Amino acid sequence: MIIPCIDLMGGKVVQLVQGRQEALQGDEPLVMLEKFAAFSQIQVIDLDAALGRGSNDAIVRELAARATTRVGGGVRSPARAAALVQAGAHRVIIGTAAFSAQGVNGALLAQMNAAVGRQRIILALDSKGGRIVVQGWTEATRFSAEEMLAQLEPYCSGFLCTYVDKEGMLEGTDLDWFRRLRAATSLEITAAGGITTWEEIEALAGMGVHAALGMAVYTGRLSLEKLARKD
């Protein structure tokens, strides 16, 4: 499955490099939603909420009500997860809240499961320099994605694994990393971060890994029409 991304910051659709530097802006959120209408799912990330500096909640709710979405960014409480599902989100993406200083935040994840159901939860394993990063990718933990997958499986139906080292750079991704992740879990994996070419998408599909696409779509490096036919 190919999943186009709508990342929101300050009410606008943006693409960032490694989650920090704004590289470009897309069209208005509803215009982007229309452009992505041919895809079975769309990923919506509230970057302001992820960074703890406000939110784009009204836009997120409108997008969730109009399309089949997986929504993330600042989902750090059962109430927030439940509100997104009630607004229409098909699944919610949880990153920072999944971890504590000791490892898996099992108590909170159990509450998330109770609030919305395990099948609606995707856990984000965003990695930079080999370590999981949280708080909008601004803080590194001491854990690697490979070592956390098995421990997190009871709390989710799949994983969003972002290779932050190449996010937004159009330099390709690390297929070997995704192969290792694929071997470590039987649950669904969605790859993100640096995916630039058809060859990478096909290699990921061959592993049984979905592809979440941002910069390559917004810059026209990959054709939306062709991607939609493959989805």
Residues with catalytic function:
7, 126
The DSSP code sequence of 83-131 is: HHHHHT-SEEEE-GGGEETTEE-HHHHHHHHHHH-GGGEEEEEEEETTE
Q: Structure tokens of 91?
A: 């699944």
Phi and psi at 84, nearest 5°, equal -65, -40
Strands (E), the chain: 2-9, 12-17, 21-25, 42-46, 69-72, 91-94, 99-100, 103-104, 121-128, 131-134, 139-140, 158-163, 188-192, 210-213
Q: Structure tokens of 209?
A: 């890994």
Phi and psi at 25, nearest 5°, equal -115, 145
Distance CA(211)–CA(231), nearest Å, equals 10
Place of tokens 């992740």: 181
Q: Structure tokens of 212?
A: 């979440």
